């Protein structure tokens, strides 16, 4: 085995191996393991495995780095967040064990060169993450967990039919072979269309998105950050790999557009901030789906830039939500005010992350959205362009209106007792800004 | 259609009937038993195809189905049924109304999906003599029946059985369509088992599922 393969195996195995320390400080081992895994992934960028069991391209590397970064941040954040939970549905070591398995299954889905195994990986993410939702045990979280398990599992069975049809047509499930096969048939169109419903359930495509707001709002904040920041992009990556075989552009574009419209409308009347952020995730994922469907250098680069910036921005938003919940115990937007004096650091991270995920310039998401919409225009899809622009603006206004209301209305005494949690929120929400500035510099140099 | 084809069609129709039987039940134990019978029937189809195609994969598949679904899943679920009388059956269910709705849903959805998407498929196995793909109607019926069961009922057990039914339909679908790689077969089993294990944990805390105000919108 050559070094590239060893590194690829290590990237997947390290989070699982950490679980050996289940009884002996799994908390610290998880953080050490996540850091080590990030280093190994960095090395793998230079020593890429050859196509065989693994299929790792530049875009795959981007997703792997995203997963590992948010995993590390969430692991550190969890060390403080879990301390404040009154009734735990699962034990603390079990929480870290599941978090590690959850990450390993995402990494497996990203790296493997087989559609069948990708499907197994996506199903494994459901199985490993389901019980994480009942960390903060309540009647609502149990119901959200159940909806997550049953809706996503039922949805992903459609993806399984898609996998069967791919094998039926091509006689192989190898991703690298299938992408280069150029087989055009009615069955392949059917397979790629079913994948949109199947994997789209996990991505948050309308109307099979219904598990998303429930799971995101009831999960502990570091898990919500993992869900929004990296789980949905991982499912989108798998969907993209299927889409590459037979691009059914019209169908994908319209599903993405309708989903953006639905997400923007739902976002407008949310009373709870975590549900509002969940719908924002749905909007961003479908925007990235639009970019992937549009394709070309504009659409695809835009989608990658959007996903990368969104993963950190949304993680920042959920960490900020975690801080608010921990320090105030309130979930409703209307119940929170005066954050700029009561929680100065959290209010900074909340504002930054809110601007980041709604695509304000000069955050990376803005440039991602700009490129995607340029791609839409380049294909002369004017109707889709106008619809998306209108509803993106509506989502931008409604979300930032709510967030600024929480921050600037009133004055309250400082209640921000912890330093690490707000620091992580700020750190995470600043990254999209750096991505945007970095992109601007690089883009200018290319021009 | 030769004799073997006729037997496969007959057993497949019994599988579809078992799905309707499950839909018509109110007692949880009866539903679980119905699922076991359904799994055994699918295993029988696997044995027949394996014998006809001279393929050991189908025999392994059939044995796995009997061990894992007909017995193991059944055992897990039976063991988790709470002892209190109120939990032995699903109350407040209008069976006749749901059954009628179910029939309409199944007939329309299977007719549309089959005629649009699957009627043109040519089967590789002996069942496809002359390019006939009509046998795919059975797994499609089972698939939509599983979906309807999940959507129409409120208890955790019924949802799990609906999901197992869906997975059963996928195995049947794959068996008729092609000899699928063993890795996919294994994944379906792992999936069902994992779901049943997780469900067993959730069912201890939450038996029924009703709309909750905090999760609306």
Residue A93, min C-alpha distance to chain B (Å): 17
Query: Is the pLDDT confidence value at B77 over 60?
Result: yes
pLDDT of res. B21? 93
Write the pLDDT tens digit of every residue in A375-412.
Answer: 999 999 999 999 999 999 999 999 999 999 999 988 88
ipTM for this prediction: 0.87
Q: Do B215 and A131 touch (CB under 8 A)?
A: no
Tell me the average pLDDT across B13-26: 92
Structure tokens at A260: 């953006």
Residues of B in contact with A114 (CB under 8 A): 183
Cα(A427)–Cα(B177) distance, rounded to whole angstroms?
Answer: 52
Confidence of residue A339 (pLDDT cuts 50, 70, 90): very high
Query: Is the pLDDT confidence value at B87 over 90?
Result: no
Residue A362 lies in a domain: yes
Q: Does A163 touch chain B (CB under 8 A)?
A: yes
The total number of structural domains in chain B stands at: 1
Candidates A446, A267, A223; CA nearest to A358 is: A267
pLDDT of res. A289? 97
* Residue found under tokens 């046998």: B135
Query: Is the pLDDT confidence value at B125 over 70?
Result: no
Q: Does B193 touch chain A (CB under 8 A)?
A: no
Residue B9 lies in a domain: yes
Burial class from Cβ neighbours inside 10 Å (0-12, 13-18, 19+) for residue A424 reads buried
- For residue B193, give every residue at least 6 positions away whose Cβ sits within 8 Å of its Cβ, in sequence order, or none: B68, B72, B73
Residue B74, min C-alpha distance to chain A (Å): 18
Tell me the average pLDDT across A433-444: 89
Write the pLDDT tens digit of every residue in A248-271.
Answer: 999 999 999 999 999 999 999 899
3-state DSSP call for residue A381? coil
- For residue A172, give every residue at least 6 positions away whose Cβ sits within 8 Å of its Cβ, in sequence order, or none: A178
Is A284 within 8 Å of A310 (Cβ atoms)?
A: yes
3-state DSSP call for residue A174? strand
% residues pLDDT > 90 (chain A):
78
Query: Is the pLDDT confidence value at A2 over 90?
Result: no
Q: Does B15 touch chain A (CB under 8 A)?
A: no
Candidates B2, B26, B41; CA nearest to B126 is: B2
CA A14 to centroid of chain Cα atoms? 21
Residues of B in contact with A173 (CB under 8 A): 181
Residues of A in contact with B163 (CB under 8 A): 150, 153-154
Query: Is the pLDDT confidence value at A447 over 60?
Result: no
Q: Does B216 touch chain A (CB under 8 A)?
A: no
pLDDT, greater one: B201 or B36: B36
Confidence of residue A236 (pLDDT cuts 50, 70, 90): very high
Query: Is the pLDDT confidence value at B85 over 70?
Result: no
pLDDT of res. B126? 66
Q: Do B195 and A153 touch (CB under 8 A)?
A: yes
Least confident segment among A186-195, A204-213, B55-64, B74-83? B74-83
Residue A49 lies in a domain: no
pLDDT of res. B6? 87
Q: Do B159 and A146 touch (CB under 8 A)?
A: yes
Residue A340 lies in a domain: yes
Structure tokens at B23: 């839909």
Structure tokens at B75: 């055992």
Tell me the average pLDDT across B182-201: 70
The total number of structural domains in chain A stands at: 1
- For residue B103, give every residue at least 6 positions away whose Cβ sits within 8 Å of its Cβ, in sequence order, or none: none
pLDDT of res. A366? 96
Structure tokens at A105: 């299954």
Structure tokens at B91: 């109350």
| Residue B86 DSSP label | G
Closest residue on chain A to B150 (Cα) = A150
Residue B171 lies in a domain: yes
B155 phi and psi angles, rounded to 5 deg: -90, 155
Residue B145 lies in a domain: yes
* Chain B contact probe: residue of A139, A157, A196 with most B CBs at under 10 A: A157
Candidates A394, A391, A129, A427; CA nearest to A260 is: A391
Query: Is the pLDDT confidence value at B183 over 80?
Result: no
pLDDT of res. B122? 76
Interface of A with B in 186-205 (CB under 8 A): 186-187, 190
Cα(A40)–Cα(A34) distance, rounded to whole angstroms?
Answer: 10
Cα(A332)–Cα(A325) distance, rounded to whole angstroms?
Answer: 10
Residue B158's domain comprises: 3-203
- For residue A368, give every residue at least 6 positions away whose Cβ sits within 8 Å of its Cβ, in sequence order, or none: A287, A288, A291, A302, A303, A304, A305, A306, A307, A308, A309, A310, A359
Structure tokens at B57: 């994969």
Residue among A168, A218, A272 whose CB faces B178 most closely: A168
% residues pLDDT > 70 (chain A):
99
Is the bond preceding A362 in cis, omega lying within 30 degrees of 0?
yes
Residues of B in contact with A119 (CB under 8 A): 184, 187
Residue among A167, A186, A275 whose CB faces B178 most closely: A167
Residue A323's domain comprises: 248-446
Q: Does B201 touch chain A (CB under 8 A)?
A: yes
Write the pLDDT tens digit of every residue in A280-312.
Answer: 999 999 999 999 999 989 999 999 999 999 999
3-state DSSP call for residue A136? strand
Cα(A155)–Cα(A136) distance, rounded to whole angstroms?
Answer: 26
Residue among B120, B177, B201 whose CB faces A164 most closely: B177
Q: Does A153 touch chain B (CB under 8 A)?
A: yes
How many helices (H) and strands (E) chain A has is answered by 19, 0
| Residue A271 DSSP label | S
* Chain A contact probe: residue of B214, B216, B217 with most A CBs at under 10 A: B214
User: Buried (b) or exposed (e) across A234-266, using 16+ Cβ within 10 A?
Assistant: bbbbbbbbbbebbebeeebbbbbbebbbbbbeb
Q: Does B113 touch chain A (CB under 8 A)?
A: no
Residue B49 lies in a domain: yes
pLDDT of res. B100? 84
């Amino acid at each position: 085995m050559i070094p590239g393969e060893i590194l690829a195996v290590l990237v997947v195995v390290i989070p699982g191996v950490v679980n050996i320390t289940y009884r002996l400080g799994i908390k610290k081992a998880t953080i050490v393991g996540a850091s080590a895994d990030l280093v190994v992934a960095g090395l793998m960028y230079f020593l890429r495995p050859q196509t065989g069991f693994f299929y790792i391209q530049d875009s795959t590397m981007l997703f792997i780095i995203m997963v590992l970064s948010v995993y590390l941040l969430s692991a550190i954040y969890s060390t403080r967040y879990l301390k404040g939970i009154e009734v735990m549905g699962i034990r603390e070591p079990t929480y870290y064990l599941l978090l590690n398995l959850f990450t390993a299954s995402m990494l497996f889905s990203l790296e493997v060169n087989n559609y069948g195994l990708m499907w197994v990986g996506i199903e494994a993410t459901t199985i490993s993450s389901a019980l994480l939702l009942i960390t903060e045990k309540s009647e609502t979280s149990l119901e959200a967990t159940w909806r997550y398990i049953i809706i996503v599992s039922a949805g992903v069975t459609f993806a399984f039919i898609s996998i069967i049809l791919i094998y039926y047509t091509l006689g192989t499930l190898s991703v690298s072979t299938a992408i280069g096969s150029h087989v055009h048939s009615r069955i392949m169109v059917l397979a790629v269309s079913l994948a949109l419903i199947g994997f789209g359930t996990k991505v948050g495509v309308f109307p099979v998105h219904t598990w998303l707001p429930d799971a995101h709002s009831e999960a502990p904040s570091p898990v919500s950050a993992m869900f929004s920041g990296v789980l949905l992009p991982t499912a989108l990556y798998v969907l993209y790999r299927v889409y590459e075989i037979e691009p059914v552009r019209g169908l994908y574009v319209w599903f993405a557009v309708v989903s953006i419209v639905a997400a923007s409308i739902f976002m407008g009347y949310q009373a709870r901030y975590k549900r509002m952020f969940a719908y924002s995730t749905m909007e961003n994922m479908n925007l990235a789906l639009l970019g992937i469907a549009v394709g070309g250098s504009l659409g695809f680069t835009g989608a990658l830039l959007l996903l990368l910036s969104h993963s950190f921005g949304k993680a920042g938003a959920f960490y900020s939500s975690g801080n608010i919940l921990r320090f105030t115990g309130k979930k409703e937007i209307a119940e929170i005010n005066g954050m700029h004096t009561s929680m100065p650091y959290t209010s900074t991270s909340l504002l930054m992350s809110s601007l980041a995920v709604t695509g304000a310039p000069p955050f990376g998401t803005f440039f991602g959205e700009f490129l995607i919409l340029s791609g839409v225009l380049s294909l002369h899809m004017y109707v889709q362009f106008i619809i998306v622009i209108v509803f993106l603006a509506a989502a931008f206004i409604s979300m930032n209106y709510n967030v600024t209301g929480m921050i600037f209305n009133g004055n309250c005494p400082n209640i921000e007792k912890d330093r690490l949690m707000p620091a992580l929120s700020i750190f995470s929400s600043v990254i999209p800004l750096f991505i945007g500035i970095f992109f601007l510099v690089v883009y200018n140099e290319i021009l | 259609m030769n004799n073997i084809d006729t037997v496969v069609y007959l057993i497949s129709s019994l599988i579809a009937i078992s799905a309707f039987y499950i839909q018509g039940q109110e007692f949880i134990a009866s539903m679980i038993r119905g699922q076991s019978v359904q799994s055994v029937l699918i295993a029988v189809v696997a044995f027949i195809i394996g014998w006809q195609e001279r393929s050991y994969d189908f025999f392994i598949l059939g044995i796995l189905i009997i061990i894992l679904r007909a017995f193991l899943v059944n055992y897990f679920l039976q063991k988790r049924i709470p002892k209190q009388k109120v939990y032995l059956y699903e109350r407040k269910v209008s069976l006749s109304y749901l059954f009628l709705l179910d029939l309409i849903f199944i007939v329309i959805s299977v007719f549309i999906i089959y005629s649009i998407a699957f009627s043109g498929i040519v089967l590789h196995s002996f069942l496809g003599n002359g390019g006939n793909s009509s046998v795919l109607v059975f797994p499609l019926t089972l698939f939509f029946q599983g979906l309807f069961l999940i959507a129409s009922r409120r208890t955790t057990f019924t949802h799990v059985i609906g999901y197992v039914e869906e997975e059963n339909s996928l195995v049947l679908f794959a068996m008729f369509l092609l000899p699928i790689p063993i890795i996919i077969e294994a994944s379906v089993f792992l999936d069902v088992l994992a779901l049943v294990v997780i469900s067993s944990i959730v069912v201890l805390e939450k038996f029924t599922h009703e709309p909750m105000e905090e999760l609306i919108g």
